Amino acid sequence: MSSGKLLSGRVALITGGSRGLGRALCEVFAREGASIAFNYASDGKAAEETLAGLDTPNKRAFKCSVLDRPGIEQMVSAIEADLGPIAILVNNAGVTEVMPFAMLEEEDWDEVMDINVKGTYLVTRAVARSMIRRRYGRIVNIGSLAGFKMIDAPVHYCTSKAAIQGFTLALAKELARYEILVNCIAPGLLDEGVGLKLPETKLADYVKHCGLRRPGTCAEIAELAAFVCSERNSYMSGAVLLADGALG
């Protein structure tokens, strides 16, 4: 591996890579020497913008839902045929909606739980099989402060992110025998994504109680993920890394 590049020679698949945190993950991982593949659900223009901003010739985008099992399997096969074996998986794709519990309909609950939890399972299963055969891999699941602490956040979103933590812990234990490290990064409020949907009063309350007095940035979480996925991390697995700026 080239000195100074955390991820040189590795192929990374990042789900939900067309915008927000997913785009930042793609950009940082490419800068650190990885070949990049990502999926997106619908926004082709955003996907093209992400591709254009990546500092690597080895980059691919796939229009594919994380709930499309045959599509996921075809995507993984195409990546490995074109770029090489997937060494890194970041399960970033997710959705939420700010809605009181009493107003949640069954379809609202199902959408968030399906994409955030079942989607993570489907993509991980498709990628982990080849990681097991090669006895190497790095998997990072993007959780949330909302699944870690008792905060004012949508119930179905909090539930889905708590499930991601349980998934991480169980999978880390099972895959350790194959030298596959599985970790979870749980960001606090960021300057993109969910943070953009919050009322001003909730955003101000978060900043008031945050030790650093600001939301985090997608780039800061991406830098942390790059380290966790690198060879410099060789022993940490089954960890839930809370990155919330010292929220009190």
**Digit-coded pLDDT (tens) for 31-90:** 999 999 999 999 999 999 999 999 999 999 999 999 999 999 999 999 999 999 999 999
Cα(161)–Cα(167) distance, integer angstroms: 10
User: Are residues 10 and 231 in contact, defined by beta-carbon separation less than 8 angstroms?
Assistant: no
Residue 208 phi/psi, 5° resolution?
Answer: -60, -40
Confidence of residue 4 (pLDDT cuts 50, 70, 90): confident
Q: How confident is the model at residue 3 (pLDDT cuts 50, 70, 90)?
A: low
Separation between Cα atoms, residue 177 and residue 92, nearest integer Å: 25
Topology of domain 11-230, per CATH? Rossmann fold (3.40.50)
Structure tokens at 188: 């606090």
Per-residue pLDDT tens over the stretch 131-170: 999 999 999 999 999 998 888 889 999 999 999 999 999 9
Write out the catalytic residue numbers: 157
Tokens of 16: 């939900």
The pLDDT tens digits for 193-239 are 766 667 888 889 999 999 999 999 999 999 999 999 999 999 999 99
Stretch 15-31: mean pLDDT: 98
- 14 pLDDT higher than 90: yes
How far apart (Å, rounded) are the C-alpha atoms in residues 71 and 93? 15
Helix boundaries (H) for the chain: 20-31, 44-52, 69-82, 106-113, 119-134, 155-175, 200-209, 218-228
Q: Check pLDDT > 50 for residue 1.
A: no
